[in-house]
């Protein structure tokens, strides 16, 4: 949440959006809200160490965002 907002906000101020050549990696669960933020920032892939929510999976699939869950080791 807040860390992603800071990254996207910094990228906006720096004129870097959309972030097409990036991967958003999070240390928690891939939520619906994180998928929304990735999509709005133009980030094509979201990877999380935990399980994605079912709403996150649905939204990612609808918009062609690659979603990786259980990214460990």
- pTM, 2 dp: 0.92
Taken in order 62, 28, 50, 66, the sign of the CA dihedral is positive
Q: Contact, 63 vs 41, CB < 8 A? A: no
The 10s digit of each residue's pLDDT in 20-60 is 999 999 999 999 999 999 999 999 999 999 999 999 999 99
pLDDT digits (tens, 9 = 90+) for 57-71: 999 999 999 999 999
Beta bridge partners of 24: 46
CB count, 10 Å around CB of 8? 20
DSSP code of 50? S
Provide the angle, in degrees to the nearest 10, between the axes of the packed helices 54-63 and 32-41: 20
């Amino acid at each position: 949440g807040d860390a992603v907002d800071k990254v996207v906000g910094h990228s906006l101020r720096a004129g870097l959006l959309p972030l097409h050549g990036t991967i958003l990696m999070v240390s928690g669960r891939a939520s619906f809200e994180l998928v929304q933020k990735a999509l709005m920032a133009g980030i094509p892939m979201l990877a999380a160490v935990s399980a994605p929510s079912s709403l996150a999976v649905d939204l990612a699939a609808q918009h062609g965002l690659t979603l990786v869950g259980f990214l460990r080791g």
